[in-house]
Every structure is written in C-alpha cells, then in structure tokens.
Amino acid sequence: MGDSQNAGLALKFIIIGASVSGLTAAIALLKAGHSVIILEKDPQLGGVGSVPNGSGCAQLPPNACKILLDWGLEAEIQATCAPVSGFSVYKYGAGDLSDPDYLGINLWDPEMLIEARGGYMQLSHRALIRILHDLALKSSTASSSINENETRLSVVSGAEVVSVDCDACSVTTRLGDIYKGDVIIGADGAGGIVRRILMDEEDLSPEDDILTGIAAYSAIVPNKSVVENAALKPLFDAQPGCTLWLGSNRGVRTFPVGQEHDVSMLIYTTDSSQDGTWIQEAEKKLPDILGPCNEYLRNMAQSTGIATCVQIKEHCKLDSWVTESGKVVALGEAAHPLPPGSVHAYSIGMEDGVFLGKLFSHITDHDQITEFLHAFQEHREPRCASIYQMEKDYIYQITLPDGEVQVQRDIAMRARGERGENVLGGDLQEMMEDFRMVFGYDAMDDADEWWMTWGRYRDSSARLSQSEGNIFNMLFASMSSNTCEDVGQEEGEEKHYVHEFDTHDHDI
Ligand SMILES: Cc1cc2nc3c(=O)[nH]c(=O)nc-3n(C[C@H](O)[C@H](O)[C@H](O)COP(=O)(O)OP(=O)(O)OC[C@H]3O[C@@H](n4cnc5c(N)ncnc54)[C@H](O)[C@@H]3O)c2cc1C
C-alpha cells in the first residue's frame, strides 16, 4: 500500500501513553523514518490493575480494520478477531429466559463492508495492544535511509510522566528520568497530563466536564461459561452473535470477543456513580446494577468475570489540540474523548495516529513542526466531532426512557422486524447511513490528500523562498501586503494558520 515513506528530516518523538492511539502513531511515525520513545505509566502494556483477565473489548469497524490490513496484518486479524455481521435487538425488561422479547435483526450490508475495504472485527483490548506493540517493534527495525544505525524505538513501561516542559520539549517521569525530543505526543487519554496542560492554557478545569448520569459497565463472559450454560448458548449460536437490549435509561450490548469466542457484556445504566477506569474493579457487581431485566441478561451477568465501571462524561471541548509552544499535541482520547463503549472508541484514535504519521512523512524542516501539528487538528477535528455526536445519539436512542417516543420506536422496529427488514429505521437508520460513510474513510488516503492539496504547495513555496532569497521575499512581501488590503486585514497583523488552509468537505 506504499505506506512506508521516509521523511526528508528524521525527528525524535516522545509519545506519552502506550495504548491504541500511542502505538498506532508510533508505527506510522517509524514507517516515516522517525525515532520514537513511548512512555507508559502502567507496568504492563494493555493494563492489568485490579482486572487481571481484562474487561476490555476493542471494536474494529472497517475504517480501523483496513489500517491493520494495509499494514499487512491479515493473518493476525484472522487469528485473533471475531468477525461480526450485525446484531439482534431485544427489549431489556421483558420476556423470560427461554423467550426474550425479540424486536428484529440488523445486518451490516456485505456490499458496504466490501466497499469500505475492511470487515467488522472484535478482539480483546489486550490482544490489540499486543498486535500493535509487535508491529511497532518490527517497524523500528525495518531499514531506514536516514539515521540507519540509530535505535528508533524504545517502549518504557512503568514510566509515568509527571511533568511536561512544553518549551524545552521534554518530559520528566515519576522516577526522575528526563526525556527530550522534537515533538511530544499526548496519547495519554482523557485524564492524561497533556489534556490537562491544554485545558490549563484555555482556563478550563476537569470540573467543567459534565457527568451524564450514565455509566458503562463492562465484563467478559468466558466462552466456557456460555458453552456450558444450556440457556445462554442458543443465543450465541444464532447469527450474528451480537445482541442489543433496549431498556428505560438502560441498554446492554453483547458481542463475541476474539477467536476464543468469549462474550463481552457492556451495560449502560443510571444505577452507579463510581467514576472508575478500565483497569479498576467496579464497586458494584453486574447483577446489582441491572434493575428489572430479562432473565437471560441476569443469567449472563452472573457468568461474567470482574467488571469495570466508567462514567460517561460530556468532556469540555478543547479549542486547540496543540500547546502554545507549538511542539506538544494531543491525539486520541486526550484530544477528543468519546463515550466508553463507542463503536469508534478505537478506530478514531487509530486514524489519528495514521494521519499524524503520514503527515510527518513529508517533513523536511524543523520549522514545519508547529504547522503540521495544527494541520493535524484542523483536518481531523470535523470528523471526530461528527463521530462524537453520532455516538452520543446512539447511546441516547438505546437507553430511551419509557414514554411515547420509546413506544413509537418499538412499534416501528417490531413492524420492520416482522417484514424481514433491518430493524433500525428512522433516526437510527439515518445514523446507520452515517456509519456507512464513516466506515468508508481511509486515514492514509486522507493524509495523502492533505499533502497533495495543501501541504506540498506550502512546502515548495518555502523551498522557493529559500532559493530565490531576497528578490523573491521582496516580491512575496509586496504581493501579501496587497492581499492583506484585499481582505481588509490590518498591516502587520499576523495571519493565523487556519486562514491559510481552506476547509473542504471531509469524507465522513
Ligand atoms: C485496559 C483497557 C481496556 C479498555 N477497554 C475498553 C472497552 O472495552 N471499550 C471501550 O470503548 N474502550 C475501552 N478502553 C478505552 C480505549 O482504549 C480508548 O477509548 C481508545 O482506544 C483510545 O484510547 P487512547 O489510546 O487514545 O487512550 P487510552 O486507551 O485511554 O490510553 C491512554 C494510555 O496512556 C497511559 N497514560 C496515562 N497517563 C500517563 C502518564 N502520565 N504517563 C504515561 N502514560 C500515561 C495510560 O496508562 C494508557 O495506557 C480500554 C482501555 C484500557 C486501558
């Protein structure tokens, strides 16, 4: 796929956080010939904490899957992922164990998946981290025409970054080690230090994040428990294997995880105020937060391992993903957090990493760093914002409180199900159409497009300005002063970067 291209200038990147966004960015930057140091606060990649078997399930919709395929990971995908073709929809609180109240089925259009050049896959969080980590190591040893003899990747675990000097472009870990680079990437999540620095610069505080009152509980049912439970097994044997349960202020999704065919159970509930993390055991047991529910769900909740609980928050929006110093950037959850359990929780961070790496495959001069980081935000932000809105709407729809709107939703779903049509329709179908657009996105192509449309012209004009020296500069100065007059800009007023890149439609 021609994704390896050495940049004209090799830079040293410090990445804070060795999770999905951090590792993906590292791979893309290594492929572009740069050096990377990744600092991870947890002693073990993929997180363990008080959840030794992990509760996390990574959803890889086609836009994420194709990134792995383009990186030659087809065999790993086949060996570790469970493919998903759609989901069956049930009512949360009705029906008994043998006869849950079924509304209908929704299948991903196979043509859409082919068009999008990737399947819909699910695997454990930890398995994905291992795959990305292995590929990062491999990419660091692939030959590079620049800095041939340098070790281009170090991954340091147990290295919590406790301070960042944005001007000096250095970080200090809790153990007192100092690392210095050309660029710092904050892939350290929504609660990370880089997001905090950006918030401080904008006079925002974590108290500005708003709790929605809904928490996401997550746990894994081991395959053995499903296979040995005569009541649970038939539902998972039935295609497509994923289920969605609609309740009042509650919703549940279950989906197969990995080739082991464990089952991930994700519950949205208003019955918990714990502000937990993905590596911290939930204070309440799953059966205690289910409320009135179908016996099938209760039975499944009793079969899960340790659960985690993460609150859904409306995180405050950052105006800038780049610090005032112009050398530190946030990506993934650190830049634009999504609600836990979102379809695109993983894919959007992976796209960020690929996009950033591809951008920096074109760097030829240190002076371009800040501009490239701002271009990253400008180009990625509209897509991230629209996906965020879709994910929010989706959770709202599946947890609709009982009432007239919910009654109409269920009647319509049931009717479509009885006609043998996809059960989602109306607002939800529109949402599915949006997903169709989102699935088709290709982060590498988008970054290439940015370069072909904007970046290379700026690059060649910069080169020209160097080679032509004073004469060109004088000419350029007179031209730009005319332009300032044309647009009514004050003489001497600095022109902000956003005016220099025209916005254009993004393929979402
Ligand atoms: C164990 C685990 C399981 C998960 N399971 C799910 C799931 O089932 N469903 C879901 O939707 N999402 C899950 N998530 C969240 C999911 O990983 C993210 O939503 C998404 O992948 C994008 O993540 P990210 O890489 O941007 O940030 P994150 O995944 O949040 O990663 C941030 C990384 O930065 C590290 N870090 C933070 N602060 C520092 C510091 N100061 N110094 C060094 N390192 C630091 C963290 O330890 C972490 O590894 C899980 C996360 C973890 C850690």
Q: Which residue, among 301, 309, 390, 295, has the nearest Cα to 342 in the 3D structure?
A: 390
Q: How far apart are CA 171 and CA 173, in angstroms?
A: 7
Q: Give the least confident one: 124-138, 257-271, 447-461.
A: 447-461
Please give the single-letter amino acid code of residue 483: T
Reported as a single tens digit per residue, the pLDDT across 223-235 is: 888 888 887 777 7
Length of the chain: 508
Residue whose CA is at the smallest distance from ligand 1 atom 29: 19
Q: Give the least confident one: 134-143, 168-177, 284-293.
A: 134-143
pLDDT for 155 beyond 50? yes
Cα-flanking dihedrals φ and ψ of residue 123, to 5°?
-150, 170
pLDDT reported for residue 322: 98
458 or 175: which carries more pLDDT confidence? Answer: 175
Q: Is the CB of 47 under 6 A from ligand 1?
A: yes
Of all helices (H) and strands (E), which one includes residue 62?
helix 62-70
Reported as a single tens digit per residue, the pLDDT across 331-383 is: 999 999 999 999 999 999 999 999 999 999 999 999 999 999 999 999 999 99
Give percent above pLDDT 70 in the chain. Answer: 82
Residue whose CA is at the smallest distance from ligand 1 atom 37: 188
235 or 81: which carries more pLDDT confidence? Answer: 81
Residue whose CA is at the smallest distance from ligand 1 atom 51: 278
CA 317, 120, 123, 70 torsion-angle sign? negative
Q: Is the CB of 255 under 6 A from ligand 1?
A: no
Q: Mean pLDDT of all residues in the chain? A: 84
**How far is CA 396 from each of CA 389, 390, 428, rounded to the nearest angstrom?**
11, 10, 11
Tokens of 176: 């007192």
> Within 13 Å of residue 111, how many CA atoms lie on the same side as its CB?
0
Residue whose CA is at the smallest distance from ligand 1 atom 21: 346
Q: How far apart are CA 6 and CA 26, in angstroms?
A: 14
Mean pLDDT computed over 417-446: 79
Q: Is the CB of 125 under 6 A from ligand 1?
A: yes
Ligand 1 closest atom vs CA 218: 8
pLDDT reported for residue 336: 98
Pocket test for ligand 1, best of 50, 278, 392, 394 (most atoms within 8 A of CB): 278
Residue whose CA is at the smallest distance from ligand 1 atom 2: 278
Q: Is the CB of 181 under 6 A from ligand 1?
A: no
pLDDT for 491 beyond 90? no
Q: Measured between alpha carbons, how far apart are the two ends of the chain, in Å?
A: 22
Q: Is the CB of 373 under 6 A from ligand 1?
A: no
Whether 72 contacts 325, CB under 8 Å = no
Q: Is the CB of 340 under 6 A from ligand 1?
A: yes
Residue whose CA is at the smallest distance from ligand 1 atom 28: 189
Ligand 1 closest atom vs CA 162: 41
Mean pLDDT computed over 31-43: 95
Ligand 1 closest atom vs CA 47: 1
pLDDT reported for residue 305: 82
Reported as a single tens digit per residue, the pLDDT across 260-319 is: 888 999 999 998 889 999 989 999 999 999 988 988 899 899 988 889 999 999 999 999
Ligand 1 closest atom vs CA 20: 25
Q: How does residue 54 score in pLDDT terms, banded at 50, 70 and 90?
A: low
